[in-house]
Amino acid sequence: MPKNNIEDFRLCAGLIFNQALAAFPRAVSLDDKAICETLLDREFRQSKPDAYGQVEYEDPEHRETLDFVVSTSRWLVDEGYLRSRSHFVDPGSVTLTQNGFYILGVEALDNSSEKLGRKLAQHVEAGAWDSVRDVTSNVLLAGIKLGWEGVKSGTGMNS
């Protein structure tokens, strides 16, 4: 992990967006385990929690994959798609920002297409991972366009 960091990033970000949109407007603690299992295409067997409540996973790739998920979610926070109150690398609970909600849920980007959040949820439910990657690319592109419009108008995406 990662086999192809850009493809894995797009899938990971799509799964994170899907969880955040499903919980909106409430904050959600991301199901990192489910995201890791999807990225690696297998289940994790976990050991009993240690004295501090930390669960260890028997799969050695789990830690690297979990770090990838945490890094992806932190990037989405830093770029203004998600909000987190945590100042640690792991953002903990997240919620969609106004811009993230607008891109995923408010309206379609053009008259001929459906809402990206709806498409994303359908593809996640169907396990159509290549389609999740494609929709995620559209979400990120919409964020770039929204950010550039804000730069031109002086508001910016992270405002």
Q: Hey, where are the domains in the chain? A: 5-153
Task: Tell me the pLDDT of the chain averaged across its residues.
Answer: 79
Residue 55: pLDDT above 60?
Answer: yes
Q: How far is CA 21 from each of CA 12, 73, 103, 107, 151, rounded to the nearest angstrom?
A: 14, 14, 11, 14, 26
Question: Residue 11 has what pLDDT?
Answer: 93
Question: Residue 76 has what pLDDT?
Answer: 92
Question: What CA–CA distance (Å, rounded) separates 119 from 122?
Answer: 5
pLDDT of 90? 72
What was the pLDDT predicted at 107? 55
93 and 28 Cβ atoms separated by less than 8 Å? yes
Mean pLDDT of 53-62: 68
Q: 123 near 132, Cβ under 8 Å?
A: yes
pTM for this prediction: 0.77
Mean pLDDT of 55-62: 68
Question: Do 83 and 90 touch, CB atoms closer than 8 A?
Answer: no
DSSP string, 84-139: -S--SSS--EEEE-HHHHIIIII--SSTTS--HHHHHHHHHHHT-HHHHHHHHHHH
